Amino acid sequence: MIVNTAYDPLTAAIPAEIPLPNAPLVRVIAQVRFPPVLSIEKRDFVAPFQEAIRARYPILRAEQTQGLVVGPQGTAPLSPQIIWRFSDVEERWRVSLAPDFAAIETTAYRSRKDFFARFTSLVQALAEQVSPKIVDRIGVRYIDRVTGEAVRDLGQLVRPEVLGVAATAAGEHARYTLSESVFTVPELSAQLLARWGLLPKGGTVDPAAIEPSAEPSWILDLDLFRAEPRAFDPGEIVETARSYAERIYAFFRWVVTDDFLRRYGGHV
């Protein structure tokens, strides 16, 4: 494989999308964070939001979380927080609403167009029913997971700079390898957190987003975000998130080879 070291996936033109019918994409998430709206924890306040999205996400479950804060005196528990989880009947799509964020995620991603149509509906419901005035953070995350024979063929599926030690003879003995890099994305004034590596059977680096696998696997976890307070503008939020997804795709295409695309059903 000829490696083009001059190509920069963080600034180059976005490549044309090549659909992968058998893509190893296990989860896609888009999230909007805002200053806390404490009324969100009240059932009566959340009811109109539920009605706005209930046709698509009829199942509602309340989840109570307990966080910790670390300080000079050690750790101390934070006040419990309720997160409202709305999902479809198959539980392949989920909307989450908490006092300081809203998110949509899926394990059944079909296309960028479909995903952002749903994200648009979420942001509109959030604007109409919750009415945050400020958005603190916008983030989009795509997680791929390679399993089975493809793990043994990584040398043909992923560029060598990304594989690192896994591309060497010593890589045959590796059970766990993880690389993490944070890149600036100049045109978007955002950052890309990129993680990739081998995980052993039952391994995960984020139980909330990457479920433990029954076999060894290789993950590619790309999270593009901007943490900068600005006015809550639904149209701008959607277009910003969409541009993040496009840049993530450019990075993904830089990571993988044409053999990868063909392996998962792409026509190259």
What's the mean pLDDT in 207-216? 89
Has residue 11 been placed in a domain?
no
Residue 9 belongs to some domain of the structure: no
- Kindly tell me if the per-residue pLDDT of 148 is higher than 60: yes
Categorize the per-residue pLDDT at 5 as very low, low, confident or very high, splitting at 50, 70 and 90.
Answer: low
Its pTM stands at 0.92
For the stretch 13-19, contacts whose Cβ atoms lie closer than 8 Å and that sit 24 or more positions apart, written own/partner, are 13/250, 14/246, 14/247, 14/249, 14/250, 15/249, 15/250, 15/253, 17/112, 17/249, 18/261, 18/266, 18/267, 18/268, 19/111, 19/265, 19/266
User: Does 17 fall in a domain?
Assistant: no
50: in domain = yes
Per-chain mean pLDDT for the chain: 91
CA distances (Å), 179 to each of 96, 150, 229, 252, in order? 29, 19, 30, 15
Kindly state whether residue 213 falls inside one of the protein's structural domains. Answer: yes
In-domain check, residue 121: yes
Residue 76 has pLDDT above 60, yes or no: no
Residue 75's pLDDT is what? 58
**pLDDT of the residue at 140:** 98
pLDDT at 62 over 90: yes
Whether 244 maps to a domain, the answer reads: yes
Quick check: 73 pLDDT over 60? Answer: no
- 101 vs 200: CA distance, rounded Å: 32
Q: Which structural domain range is residue 226 located in?
A: 25-263
Taking a C-beta distance cutoff of 8 angstroms, is the pair 45, 99 a contact?
A: no
Q: How many domains does the chain have?
A: 1
Q: Would you say residue 135 lies in a domain?
A: yes
pLDDT at 77: 58
